[in-house]
Amino acid sequence: MDNKNFEEGYVTFKTTTKDGKEVEMAVVDEFDYEKEHYVVASLINEDDTIDDENRYIYKSIVKGDEFSVEKIKREFDYKKIAQAYLSIDEGDSESLPEKN
C-alpha cells in the first residue's frame, strides 16, 4: 500500500474502484467499532482538494507506523458499520457513507 502525507496534513492511500481504476484517497476521520478500527476516506480531486460530497469507509490495519486498508466486502456489514459511524458523528452527515 502506498501511503503518504497529503499537503494539508491528511494521510493518504491508493485503492482500486469497482471498475478497476486506481484512485487516491485521504483519511478524513477514523473510529473503532466492535474491536476493529476503521477509516473514513474521501477522494482527492485532480486539483489536490478533498471531495467533501462522498465518503467511504474501510477497515484499517495498523502495524507500527504503517497502515493498510481493506474494503468491507459484505453490504450488510458495510451498512452496519456506516450506521455506527453516523451515530458517533451525528450532525456531520445525514446519509450513509458510500460503499466503494
53 located within any domain = yes
Residue 61 has pLDDT above 60, yes or no: yes
Residue 100 has pLDDT above 90, yes or no: no
Polymer length in residues for the chain: 100
| % pLDDT > 70, the chain | 80
Domain that holds residue 37: 4-88
Give the residue-averaged pLDDT of 34-48. 91
97 located within any domain = no
| pLDDT tens-digit series, residues 74-93 | 999 999 999 999 888 665 44
Residue 99 has pLDDT above 70, yes or no: no
CA distance 45 to 98: 17
48 located within any domain = yes
CA distance 40 to 10: 12
60 located within any domain = yes
| % pLDDT > 90, the chain | 54
99 located within any domain = no
CA distance 96 to 25: 18
3-state SS record for the chain: CCCEECCCCCEEEEEECCCCCEEEEEEEEEEEECCEEEEEEEEECCCCCECCCCCEEEEEEEECCEEEEECCCCHHHHHHHHHHHHHHCCCCCCCCCECC
The confidence score (pLDDT) of residue 53 equals 85
How many separate domains does the chain show? 1
